[in-house]
Amino acid sequence: MNEKQLSKKDKLVLSFEFMQRTMVHYAMWYAQVREEFGLERASEIMEEAWSKSYSIQLKRLSKVLDFEIEDGLPKALLDLSEEKVDQLREAVAVNWLANDGVWFQAVEFTEGMFLAKKCNDAAWGQFSPYEAVRIKRLLDLPEYPGISGLKRAMELRLYGTVNVQSFGNETERSIDFYMNNCRVQAARKRKGLDDYPCKSGGIIEYSTFAATIDARIKTKVISCPPDKHPDEWYCGWHFYIEE
């Protein structure tokens, strides 16, 4: 089949296929730049690339789909109610979590649980510090923002929108973090399944995030599945700066 033989539906499917390829190509560029220049410099280069790419793509799509742009966003989105904006933000965040889940299952169902967990942990080792760098830039945090900076950053993680979390025992040099409701674990509980043993991935996820926000911050697990935990939370983490 050539391009002239495509139906309207085929062309729309192909358009979304192009979007998928664009995202993968973008990610491959970032991975290579990070390999060459390291996390911090790669983040700076990507910031420049993304600001230009976002503007180009939005303007081109606005011409095709005939929507106005205001303050760098589709005006139709700015005209949404606060409630709808919150729903959109949550939907995007939950889609991220679903995307993580389908990747895990795609590997698990074909290659087995061991390799799925190995890939999962490795992916978190890359994504968690990346998310930290993005949030640190978004909040304009200094190089060493301390425990208070980490707390602010944790609230802007994707998980901060997807799940219910809380903090406790906060001091100038330490804080405890609890995941009170985890969508993944709650879904397993509804199905009568045991907790997913996420401790190995969690250690990588939380320790790399905290250290990227502030290199002085250390991470200690309080409890995380397969460890036992109280009904009030699924996993708990202690972040601290040594005296």
pLDDT tens digit string along 166-214? 999 999 999 999 999 999 999 999 999 899 999 999 999 999 999 999 9
d(CA 103, CA 120): 9
Which residue type does 134 have? R
Contact (CB, 8 A) for 27 and 49: no
Q: What value does the mean pLDDT take over residues 123-131?
A: 94
* CATH 3.30.1380 correct for 81-243: yes
Tell me the per-residue pLDDT of 132-156, one tens digit each, with 9 for 90 and over.
Answer: 999 999 999 999 999 999 999 999 9
For a pLDDT cut of 70, what percent of the chain falls above it? 99
Query: Measuring CA to CA, how many Å separate 157 from each of 78, 129, 150, 162?
Result: 23, 11, 11, 9
pLDDT of residue 186: 92
Q: Would you say 156 and 139 are in contact if contact means Cβ atoms under 8 Å apart?
A: yes
H or E, element range at 66: none
* Contact present, 241 and 146 (Cβ < 8 Å): yes
SS3 category, 224: coil
Q: Tell me which residue of 118, 97, 120, 133 sits closest to 209, measured CA to CA.
A: 133
Determine the distance from the C-alpha atom of residue 193 to the mean position of all C-alpha atoms in its chain, rounded to a whole number. 25
For 93, the 3-state DSSP assignment is helix
> HEC profile for 176-202?
EEEEEECHHHHHHHHCCCCCCCCHHHH
- Determine if the pTM surpasses 0.85: yes
Burial class (CB in 10 A: 0-12, 13-18, 19+), 231: exposed
Instruction: Put the strands of the sheet holding 164-168 in their side by side order.
Output: 164-168, 174-181, 235-241, 217-223
Q: Report whether pLDDT(243) > 90.
A: no
Mean pLDDT within 56-69? 95
